[in-house]
Amino acid sequence: MGKKVYIHTFGCQMNVHDSEKMAGILEEEGFLQTDSIQEADLVIFNTCSIRQKAEQKFYSELGRMKAYKKEKPELKIAVAGCIAQQEGKNIFKRAPHADLVLGPQNLTALRNISKESRERVATGNNPSIATQDLPVKRTEGVSAWVTIMYGCNNFCSYCIVPYTRGRECSRPTENIYREVSELARKGYREITLLGQNVNSYMSDVDFPGLLRRLDRVGGIERVRFVTSHPKDLSPDLIHEMSALPTVCEHIHLPLQSGSSSILKSMNRKYTFETYMKKVSELRKHVPDISMTTDIIAGFPGETEKDHQLTLQAMREIEFDGIFAFKFSPRPGTKAASMEDRLSEEEKSERLYEILELQDEITERKNRSLEGTILEILVEGKSDTNNNLFSGRTRTNKIVTIPAISCGKGAMVKVEIVKARKHSLEGKMLA
């Protein structure tokens, strides 16, 4: 019987997709995936270090594995992802029961997992990952993630990513085109292009050029991308968002703060005013665009006035959704050594105000969609109710509908009958 791997993924979409790549590599090594840790011969923790909370969660899970390995000494434990990259062999000091440490640029180190002679730590700089076509084991579906670039060059002062994922490195356009064509052949209808900063994609063509190429892949009806950096959002990209039929009317454009002085100290390289100009341009050229963002509450030096500016910005822009986080000092980043006078309670209060305001805005925006007719791509049964199917609009809103016979992968027109807090209820039009 083949060996089994259990992969526990922490953090972002990039990590979820890296886990799909690890599963692909391991499939070639004869491993099947399991969702039962008891059955596993290999456990992989794909870690995230973007905030302290994610890091703590991982360490407590890893600690729990110690007793587990005592009972089953042949079990192999691998630590992958951003914490692996940062900590390298230090992982073994904290967890001698771990077997292998591999960073995000060294996923192929899993190829030797069954050999005792393999290296125990693989965290070297490996930009050639951008030209390797790694096998990917995707969960079957209608929507697939495709990496277009690795790393980040921006060094926002709070962010650990440039230290863990290295410098920007784009995949050749041809390789991406090939992968997307293959996905279309397999029946996928939507792709999401992934990169820390997709707008600075640069290979045979630039990012708008890549979108133009992918627009021509027959069978792919929707193209999404994350994440965009406001400083690199060019007029050409805005033009293609409005002109290319496949590119969806949604952008995730992290604002981080509504205060230009905090943005400066975050090293974001834009002011609130220049961000607003881009928002207006986007709305002018892509009228029904939905916009989502990331916000950090309680960055070092953030005054009450700065915080109010963030709330004001949110009222002005009316994002469709936000991800908001309390500032979390990451060792080795510039912001970690900035004077941080706010208490945890103050940061929590600011975060709470941000989330509460956004709830109001989301609810209002969702309610305004009641009675409208939208097209959704059905992704499958709803997670919470077996009698419902769930799908997404081009603007990335989740809509549930009563179960239908065409099911997964169908592109259907629905009327929105009721707005809920985080989703919409629809009924299919005949």
Instruction: Classify 30 as helix, strand or coil.
Output: coil
Minimum distance from CB of 154 to ligand SF4 (Å)? 4
Scanning 40-48, 111-119, 148-156, 301-309 for contacts with ligand SF4 by CB under 6 A, the matching segment is 148-156
How far apart CA 250 and CA 241 sit, in angstroms, is 9
**DSSP 8-state symbol, 208:** H
Minimum distance from CB of 197 to ligand 5AD (Å)? 11
Among 197, 310, 390, 423, binds ligand SF4 (CB under 6 A): 197
Would you tell me how many other CB atoms lie within 10 Å of the CB of residue 331?
11
First-to-last C-alpha distance (Å) of the chain: 49
Among 159, 217, 317, 324, binds ligand SF4 (CB under 6 A): 159
Q: Interaction with ligand 5AD in 35-64: which residues (CB under 6 A)?
A: 50-51
- 294 touches ligand 5AD by CB under 6 A: yes
Helices marked H in 29-105 — which ranges? 52-71, 81-87, 90-94
Rounded alpha-carbon distances, angstroms, from residue 183 to 191, 217, 230, 239, 306: 9, 10, 29, 26, 45
From the list ligand 5AD, ligand SF4, none, partner contacted by residue 162 (C-beta under 5 to 8 A by kind): ligand SF4
Scanning 85-93, 155-163, 206-214, 385-393 for contacts with ligand SF4 by CB under 6 A, the matching segment is 155-163
Number of residues that bind ligand 5AD (CB under 6 A): 12
Beta strands in 155-208 (DSSP E): 169-170, 190-194
Beta strands in 199-346 (DSSP E): 222-226, 250-252, 290-297, 321-326
How far apart CA 52 and CA 67 sit, in angstroms, is 25
From the list ligand 5AD, ligand SF4, none, partner contacted by residue 325 (C-beta under 5 to 8 A by kind): ligand 5AD
Q: How many residues does the chain have?
A: 430
Q: Interaction with ligand SF4 in 80-139: which residues (CB under 6 A)?
A: none
Among 152, 247, 399, 419, binds ligand SF4 (CB under 6 A): 152
Q: Contact 206/173 with Cβ under 8 angstroms?
A: no
Q: Which residue, judged by CB position, is nearest to ligand 5AD in the bound state? A: 294
Q: Which residues contact 301 (CB under 8 A, 6 or more apart)?
A: 262, 265, 338, 339, 340, 341
From the list ligand 5AD, ligand SF4, none, partner contacted by residue 51 (C-beta under 5 to 8 A by kind): ligand 5AD
- 256 touches ligand 5AD by CB under 6 A: yes
Minimum distance from CB of 75 to ligand 5AD (Å)? 32
Q: Contact 246/222 with Cβ under 8 angstroms?
A: yes
In this complex, which beta carbon is closest to ligand SF4, that of residue 165 or of residue 394? 165
User: How big is the CA angle at 322 (ends 319 and 325), to the nearest 5 degrees?
Assistant: 145
Q: Interaction with ligand 5AD in 299-328: which residues (CB under 6 A)?
A: 325, 327-328
Residue 396 φ/ψ region, left for φ over 0, alpha for ψ in the -120 to 50 degree band, beta for the rest: left
In this complex, which beta carbon is closest to ligand 5AD, that of residue 281 or of residue 294? 294
In this complex, which beta carbon is closest to ligand SF4, that of residue 192 or of residue 423? 192
Among 103, 151, 254, 426, binds ligand 5AD (CB under 6 A): 254
**Contact set with ligand SF4 (CB under 6 A):** 152, 154-156, 159, 161-162, 196-197, 229
Binding stretches for ligand 5AD (CB under 6 A): 50-51, 158-159, 254, 256, 294, 296, 325, 327-328, 330
